[in-house]
Structure 1
Amino acid sequence: MSLKIVYKPHLLQFRREAGTSRGVLTQKTSWILRITDQEKPGVAGYGECGPLPGLSVDDLPDFELQLASVCSLFNELDLDVYPFNLHIILDQLVPEHLPSVRCGIEMALLDIMNEGQLKLFKNAFSDGQSGILMNGLIWMGSHDYMAEQVEEKLARGFTTLKMKVGAIEFEKECRILESIRKRFDKQRITLRVDANGAFDEGDVNDRLRTLSGFDLHSIEQPVKAGQHELMGELCRTSPVPVALDEELIGIFNYRDKFSLLKKLMPPFIILKPTLLGGFQQTKEWIEIANRLEIDWWITSALESNIGLNAIAQFTASFQNALPQGLGTGQLYTNNFPSPLSVRSGHLHYDKNMDWKLPVFD
């Protein structure tokens, strides 16, 4: 085995503007990786490095230079990879401040270890036998645009909706939630909201009390990350259960992960492998959460179908009945055609459909 890695950028174009409290996205760059083995002609493993603008630790101006440096080192080392040394390689090869690079290389190595079929984890989902329950994501925008998204998601069979809040007037956001609750109680439609840290210490308690009137499942990251005393109090007292998201980003040491969750004891944590440093890092969060009886779910982070496929297969490896956040594959006009599809609020892998992967020179 003599592995070689190459990469190429792919500029993903959104079908419609994607609004959060951090701003509006119309496009996003991912770097697609391909690993080949000189002893296995025609076999390749694919991964994706997709730092999220304004959020990822490795959203850096020289990101591509650092990615190129890691790939150059990879090619110099003449690596052999096996299940027992995969994470040793990742630890030695990729600096902690490049979590999306670690995640992308981990994807590609898992793929090539499984003969390069984009089947990283064998389970009922990757075998096309079952789907993954998802929430339908409602992006920020005008009141009419957000209401339009709600109708579209309901028509497509979603029973859990997650609405971004914190960008338009709070009263308008509440009117949308109220309109859903007038039609569907919490037994029929589960509602989540995601503030992306938009509330502050002065208004967060009043807003949480108002939101509690809509029978919400949870609120993600009500205040900005790093305010541990405030967040700990909210986790204990909020009338809407709190889910930590951005709070987890940039923490890679096992003891630090345990210390954070033990201190804050949130009802939920949300796990984005691309932002957390890959699947092994995400498994550590899951193991700690299970020990502390904290519930969790996994979401994608605006990856193309290459990254989404790997994250979905990883997610399906766990017996987690909560709706997951894996609905990003249909956001783009120029995504890679794949066997992934959404039916009745579930993500499916259709073994009869083919991939159309990027061409490397």
Structure 2
Amino acid sequence: MLRLEYKPYTLNFKFNARTSRGTMKTREVWFLRVWDTSSLSISGIGEVAPLYGLSTDSIGEIPQRLRELVSEIEYHKTPTSVPEVYALAKTLGNLFPAIRMGLEMAFLDFIQKGRRQWFNSPFLQNKMQIKTNALVWMGDEVFMRDQIQEKVNLGFDCVKLKIGALDFKKELELVAFLRKISSKIIIRLDANGAFEPFDALKKLNELSEFNIHSIEQPIQKGKLKAMNDLCQLSKIPIALDEELIGIEGDGEKKTLLDQIKPAYIVLKPSLLGGFMESNQWIKWAEDRNIGWWVTSALESNLGLNAISQFVGQYPNLSYQGLGTGALYHNNFASRVSLTDLKMSYIETNYDELPFDN
């Protein structure tokens, strides 16, 4: 018989993490453990990690839904294959993308004998590393300049700046500062929908002087005509991010990509409903010659490990937006870590688990 337990956990940031949706000092997640009573020695672990202001989950209802799942899950057949995992997670996690992601993680781990090896890939076999961009967090001008200098000094080849919180002139100066330091570094920007449609193109043209690789979500989601216009007219390639959240079904995905015609899409599995949804986005994007990369969404090292393994299935990867696992005071030890500024899987490391305590 299939069983589930869950454990709420508060991750504590090492600094005040400022985003376009406010400042975070803590991060609430829920860990899942699934097992079958016929084999008590094997269990699978997953992470439910919604983000306030971005997730479509009714976050306040997640504890109640998890309580319901503890009893509901007993009436379902234990999955034994990846398609069965995805089907069951979709059934149980309906209307809660973050729960669906957590269930996919837990069931995939379970059918792989609970070894925290979610996806068999060259990355898992330690035959490849994943290039990742550095992230410059929002803050005042001095704070952001210091971060820029630090990332360059560390040797990152690709740096992503979050913009939209400061006066635009100051943000131009920050981008100019980074470009002056290095003419070769790849600069990505993320506006989190901060620009208004009426002046977004003007701002993008000003930013384009600094040889920008791409900008994520320059205007708010839902403005399809305005976003399509920007994609056609902007000198900077545009990547959709928040625009993808809440879009389900192959038809809706294809329609969105065909209407907007972005250069790139950015995938956050925890916000999109898991790995199956992310796989579908990748398929429809590649069919249209749209580039993509995957970004973690402030998960613990447990979620980061699973997402890194998912990404590691794909060949010829561009720079990914994977976290470094260094955001929190109380994170968990993990087999994934940043080695030579690339994400690596270290078999000899220990995966610390939230249910160990």
Q: Distance in 2 between matches of 1:320 and 1:113?
A: 28
SS of residue paired to 2:47: strand
Q: Which amino acid aligns with 2:24?
A: L
2:208 is matched with 212
Q: Distance in 1 between matches of 2:112 and 2:318?
A: 28
Residues 339-354 of structure 1: pairs in structure 2 closer than 5 A: 339-354=335-350
Q: Which amino acid aligns with 1:323?
A: Y
2:180 is matched with 182
SS of residue paired to 2:350: coil
SS of residue paired to 1:9: strand
Q: Which amino acid aligns with 1:242?
A: I
The answer on whether the counterparts of 2:324 and 2:338 sit within 8 Å (CA) in structure 1 is no
SS of residue paired to 1:296: strand
Are 1:158 and 2:151 matched, yes or no?
no
SS of residue paired to 2:41: coil
2:142 is matched with 144
Residues 249-260 of structure 1: pairs in structure 2 closer than 5 A: 249-260=245-256
Question: How far has the Cα of 1:59 moved from its partner?
Answer: 4.5
Question: How far has the Cα of 1:309 moved from its partner?
Answer: 0.6
SS of residue paired to 1:42: strand
The answer on whether the counterparts of 2:172 and 2:207 sit within 8 Å (CA) in structure 1 is yes
What are structure 1's unaligned runs of at least 5 residues?
none
Which of residues 212, 228, 232 in structure 1 aligns to 2:228?
232
The answer on whether the counterparts of 2:79 and 2:88 sit within 8 Å (CA) in structure 1 is no
Matched-pair identity in %: 40
1:98 is matched with 96
Question: How far has the Cα of 1:62 moved from its partner?
Answer: 1.9
1:277 is matched with 273
Residues 112-123 of structure 1: pairs in structure 2 closer than 5 A: 112-123=110-121
Are 1:242 and 2:271 matched, yes or no?
no
2:86 is matched with 87
2:331 is matched with 335
Instruction: Identify which range, 19-28 or 133-142, moves more after superposition.
Output: 19-28
Q: Which amino acid aligns with 1:176?
A: L
Q: Structure 1 runs of 4+ off > 4 angstroms?
A: none
Q: Distance in 2 between matches of 1:36 and 1:56?
A: 27
Compare the two structures and name the one with the higher helix fraction. Answer: 2
Q: Distance in 2 between matches of 1:200 and 1:263?
A: 20
Q: Distance in 1 between matches of 2:356 and 2:181?
A: 50
Name the Cα RMSD after superposition: 1.4
Residues 123-134 of structure 1: pairs in structure 2 closer than 5 A: 123-134=121-132
SS of residue paired to 1:191: strand
Number of matched pairs: 357
The answer on whether the counterparts of 2:4 and 2:69 sit within 8 Å (CA) in structure 1 is no
Q: Deviations over 1:104-123 (max 9, x none)?
A: 10011111111111001111
Question: How far has the Cα of 1:328 moved from its partner?
Answer: 4.8
The answer on whether the counterparts of 1:220 and 1:243 sit within 8 Å (CA) in structure 2 is yes
Give the TM-score normalised by structure 2. Answer: 0.96
Q: Distance in 1 between matches of 2:210 and 2:66?
A: 45
Instruction: Identify which range, 202-211 or 243-252, moves more after superposition.
Output: 202-211
